[in-house]
């Protein structure tokens, strides 16, 4: 009896007698060879995927939980007695990765503790080195502000307003004033030889005085360079404000020139290493106050903080609140002080961590007082 092996659409019926001797072995060998190739193909595909995921850089920055950093050993104070606290003010950081490969991108996509941000959002018109330099400058400025705020809280005025600088010059002032000029006074009349001057120390002084003039009036300013050199007088005919033709218009965007006041009771040096940004402002201010005043500002607790600080003591928002909250929680701190605007987001990831939201330095000090510190009774030991 003939055995059916295959039947094609032609209708021709192939029998075992029509198959050449040895064909069965060749077909079986071909099938086995194909089976052996598949693992090799899969291995090669996997190898290509591994190479791509490991070495191809994705255009993203990845932000992950970082560390909490004690400030006691990072702050050097001279000029006054200092007091080593039992507790600690700590600032929180995030870990930034500017070279994200495929595996890191995949992890960031599914891990809520990692924030992925397109590099175009971070870089803008700058390159990576410029962004790094910008963040370090933010930290430098934040340090200066933190010391000033601490001094102000202790009753000192660390800065002197010494004139009105210019961010932008246009309109009537264009060609007469430059961004390298500082206005220090205004004449009481419109003559270049005036001997009666009104000092203009702040931008508010200038704005207030200009409100007493009208379009077409001539004003005479005493001007010097930002370094204080090249003092001279400049008359300018005022124009009309584009949004209010009846109001006088000078055409400059102003900022107060600030100089360090002499005879401050102490000076401060911060060693923050390679940490950039301005989100440690509140922590830096609190740490200075803790070190220069007797007693326990924190009540002996380990207190992590984050938030910018302005010269008037306002606490501002920061980036990476999720990552910083997770960092503070994992570090086992007793209290985490955050900007109020980011309090609700921080609470989502606190998981039992005591979080307090604040808008000002005074509110942060109140929170520390409620935690058991002497934050409401701070003064230098020689006062």
| pLDDT tens figures, 303-344 | 999 999 988 899 999 889 999 999 999 999 999 999 999 999
Residues 37-57 pLDDT 10s: 667 667 677 666 666 666 777
Confidence of residue 125 (pLDDT cuts 50, 70, 90): confident
pLDDT higher than 60, residue 250 = yes
List alpha helices for the chain, DSSP H: 23-55, 102-110, 119-123, 128-153, 203-210, 281-292, 321-330, 343-348, 361-370
Closest CA to 60 of 94, 101, 107: 101
Dihedral (Cα; 365, 318, 281, 329), 10-degree rounding: 60
Confidence of residue 75 (pLDDT cuts 50, 70, 90): very high
Residues 138-153 pLDDT 10s: 888 888 889 999 999 9
User: Which is higher by pLDDT, 162 or 21?
Assistant: 162
State mean pLDDT over 118-139.
79
User: Which is higher by pLDDT, 127 or 363?
Assistant: 363
* pLDDT value at residue 28: 59
Confidence of residue 365 (pLDDT cuts 50, 70, 90): very high
For residues 224 and 182, is the Cβ–Cβ distance under 8 A? yes
State mean pLDDT over 233-241.
94
**Taking the complete model, does pTM exceed 0.85, yes or no?**
no
State mean pLDDT over 11-15.
51
State mean pLDDT over 93-119.
76
- Backbone φ/ψ region at 184: left (φ over 0), alpha (ψ -120 to 50), beta: alpha
| Tokens linked to 76 | 């050097």
* pLDDT value at residue 10: 47
pLDDT higher than 90, residue 274 = no
Q: Minimum mean pLDDT among 31-35, 228-232, 271-275, 374-378: which range?
A: 31-35
Closest CA to 252 of 267, 264, 241: 241
- Paired with 97 in beta bridges are 62
Closest CA to 186 of 223, 240, 237: 223
Non-local (6+) Cβ contacts of 109 within 8 A are 116
* pLDDT value at residue 214: 95
Query: What average pLDDT does the structure give for the chain?
Result: 85
* pLDDT value at residue 64: 87
* pLDDT value at residue 56: 72
Question: What percentage of the chain exceeds 90 in pLDDT?
Answer: 54
Confidence of residue 297 (pLDDT cuts 50, 70, 90): very high
* pLDDT value at residue 47: 67
For residues 230 and 224, is the Cβ–Cβ distance under 8 A? yes
Between CA 78 and CA 290 the distance in angstroms is: 14
User: Which is higher by pLDDT, 112 or 68?
Assistant: 68
């Amino acid at each position: 009896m003939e055995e059916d092996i295959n039947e094609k659409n032609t209708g021709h019926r192939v029998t075992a007698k029509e198959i050449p001797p040895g064909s069965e072995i060749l077909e079986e060998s071909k099938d086995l060879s194909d089976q052996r190739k598949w693992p090799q193909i899969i291995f090669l595909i996997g190898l290509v995927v591994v190479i791509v995921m490991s070495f191809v850089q994705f255009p993203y920055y990845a932000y992950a939980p970082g560390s909490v950093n004690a400030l006691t050993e990072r702050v050097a104070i001279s000029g006054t007695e200092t007091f080593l606290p039992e507790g600690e003010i700590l600032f929180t950081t995030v870990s930034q990765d500017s070279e994200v490969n495929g595996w890191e991108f995949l992890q960031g996509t599914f891990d809520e503790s990692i924030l992925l941000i397109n590099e175009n959002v971070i870089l803008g018109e700058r390159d990576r080195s410029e962004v790094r330099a910008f963040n370090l400058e933010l930290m430098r400025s934040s340090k200066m502000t933190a010391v000033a705020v601490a001094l102000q809280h202790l009753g000192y005025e660390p800065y002197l307003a010494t004139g009105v600088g210019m961010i932008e010059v246009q309109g009537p002032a264009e060609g007469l004033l430059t961004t390298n000029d500082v206005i220090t006074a205004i004449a009481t009349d419109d003559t270049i030889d005036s001997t009666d001057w009104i000092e203009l120390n702040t931008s508010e002084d200038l704005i207030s005085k200009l409100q007493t003039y009208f379009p077409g009036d001539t004003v005479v300013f005493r001007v010097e360079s930002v370094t204080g050199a090249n003092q001279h007088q400049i008359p300018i005919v005022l124009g009309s404000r584009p949004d209010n033709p009846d109001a006088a218009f000078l055409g400059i965007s102003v900022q107060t020139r600030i100089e360090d006041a002499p005879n401050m009771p102490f000076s401060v040096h911060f060693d923050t290493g390679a940490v950039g940004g301005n989100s440690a402002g509140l922590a830096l201010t609190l740490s200075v106050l803790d070190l220069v005043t007797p007693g326990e500002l924190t009540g002996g607790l380990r207190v992590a903080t984050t938030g910018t600080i302005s010269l008037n003591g306002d606490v501002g928002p920061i980036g990476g609140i999720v990552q910083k909250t997770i960092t503070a929680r994992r570090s086992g701190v007793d209290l985490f002080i955050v900007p109020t605007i980011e309090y609700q987001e921080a609470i989502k990831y606190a998981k039992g961590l005591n979080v307090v939201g604040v808008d000002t330095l005074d509110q942060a000090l109140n929170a520390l007082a409620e935690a058991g510190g002497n934050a409401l009774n701070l003064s230098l030991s020689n006062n």
